[in-house]
Structure 1
Amino acid sequence: MQKYSVVIVEDHTLLSQAIGNIVDSFDKFKVLYLCKNGKELIDKFSSPKNIPDIVLMDINMPIMNGIETTEWITANHPLVYVLALSIEDDEKTILKMIRVGAKGYLLKDVEKSILEHALIEVMDNGYYHSKNVTNILLKSISGKTDSTTLKENELIFMKFACTEMTYKEIADKMCLSPKTIDGYRDSLFEKLNVKNRIGLAMYAIKNKIYTP
């Protein structure tokens, strides 16, 4: 039986090898090689013999991340299918990956049988969407993305933002970098459709996130 070739792009070596062993155990698939980031993959693609049927793509990687790499593959090798395999489960990241060309999105805690099923579906139908990803896509199309679903750190940041603490003091309090805090602030402004810290505080008080 002819096997479909799979390349794994994952910056954690042990995890990459473990995923490779799982894929090699599937009847219809074999691992062609492993890469630690998108740049390494692009260098490999310079040789026709290194171009696989499917790329299992991580998102957060040094040098060149999964979103950038998927966009490059879509533009330069449209016949290569990209299936995202990540710990990132937020809607924005999932939508970004789908929009740049990923044919499916799986979380790293996925069961072995589902991974195999997803690979088969991608080769047979050109895509695989779990129920969760399908719901996200439908909400995106209808304009009803669940933007007000706030993460724990965003809620903690919001409570501190309702006090007189500066953003730097909040960063120190949360043991995070000022850049990360700026990211929380900008994300909340966009999610909650507010323009400044006062609007953020008013939202927090109105929704009983913060009690003065």
Structure 2
Amino acid sequence: MDNHIKIVLVDDEILFRKGVFFLLDREKNIEIIAEASNGVELVTFLNENENHPDIVIMDLKMPLLNGVEATKILHKEYPQIKIIALTSYDSSSFIANMINVGAVSYLVKNSTPQELLKTINEVAVKGFYYNEKVLKVIQQTISSSKNSKSALNNNYLTNREIEVLQLICEQKTTAEIGEKLFISPRTVEGHRNNLLLKTESKNSAGLVVYAIQNEIAVIV
């Protein structure tokens, strides 16, 4: 892929962070613009610099300000920045919590370099990327708390919006959705924006959660 992706690495384990840095630094389309050892350093960097990343790769357990709290701040103050959680915690509760506060992808630290690179590139193109494990956790979390189901009547969505939403859940790009439905990419973005407004979702990742909650899309 030839799209340029700016990244900030946030992890208090210096050796691990440097390892990820050297892995990503070899990629022609990826630029590491900063590193931070905790959420405070990350927020300070963003506040003091105009050169913001497209993606932040975020650890969870860090001193001063952990990854969950830092994600909440970024989701509110810098919503255009995509957050990929990269952590040693593999439990469903951690995954569900990070997705809930705004992470658009979740990886454990024993993932392969190929998995990390794929996740970064998918997030850069589509705005989010859920692997099979994360999708199952979302489904399990929703099915175990029936009261989380949205009160929004699905009739509020048009047939075309539902078609677009289902294809978003299949993690199709805007161009792929347009090609499938014989509409322009600009029209796809219009439908996506309408879906965000109607479902009160903040990003495409939230749309996937909404679709599973309301049984518009079933992930197998």
Specify the TM-score bucket, using the shorter chain as the normaliser.
0.5 to 0.7
Task: Report the counterpart of residue 203 of structure 1 in structure 2.
Answer: none
1:54 correspondence with 2:52: no
- The answer (yes or no) to whether the contact 1:4–1:53 under 8 Å persists in 2 is yes
The percent identity for this pair of structures is: 30
Number of residues of Structure 1 aligned to a counterpart in Structure 2 = 145
Q: What does residue 9 of structure 1 align with?
A: 10
More RCO (CA 8 Å, sep 6+): 2
Instruction: State the partner residue of 1:80.
Output: 81
* 5+ long unaligned stretches in structure 1: 146-212
For 1:45, what is the secondary structure of its paired residue? helix
Residue matched to 2:207: none
Kindly name which structure, 1 or 2, has the bigger radius of gyration based on alpha carbons. 1
Letter in 2 for 1:72: I
Q: Distance in 1 between matches of 2:98 and 2:28?
A: 28
Kindly provide the amino acid, as one letter, of the partner of residue 119 in structure 2.
A
Q: Is 1:26 aligned to residue 18 of structure 2?
A: no
Pairing of 1:36-47 with structure 2 (within 5 A): 36-47=37-48
Distance in structure 2 (CA, Å) of the matches to 1:59 and 1:93: 9
Following superposition, the deviation at residue 130 of structure 1 comes to: 1.1
- The residue matched to 1:133 in structure 2 has which SS? helix
1:27 positional shift: 2.9
Contact 1:44 1:50 in 2 (8 A): no
After TM superposition, the runs of 4+ consecutive aligned structure 1 residues lying more than 6 A away are: none
3-state DSSP of counterpart to 2:50: helix
Structure 2: distance between partners of 1:52 and 1:130: 23
Distance 2:3 2:89 in 1: 33
| Root-mean-square deviation over aligned CA pairs | 1.5
TM-score by length of 1: 0.66
Contact 1:82 1:101 (8 Å CA) reproduced: yes
Distance 2:99 2:86 in 1: 12
Q: 2: distance between equivalents of 1:144 and 1:73?
A: 27
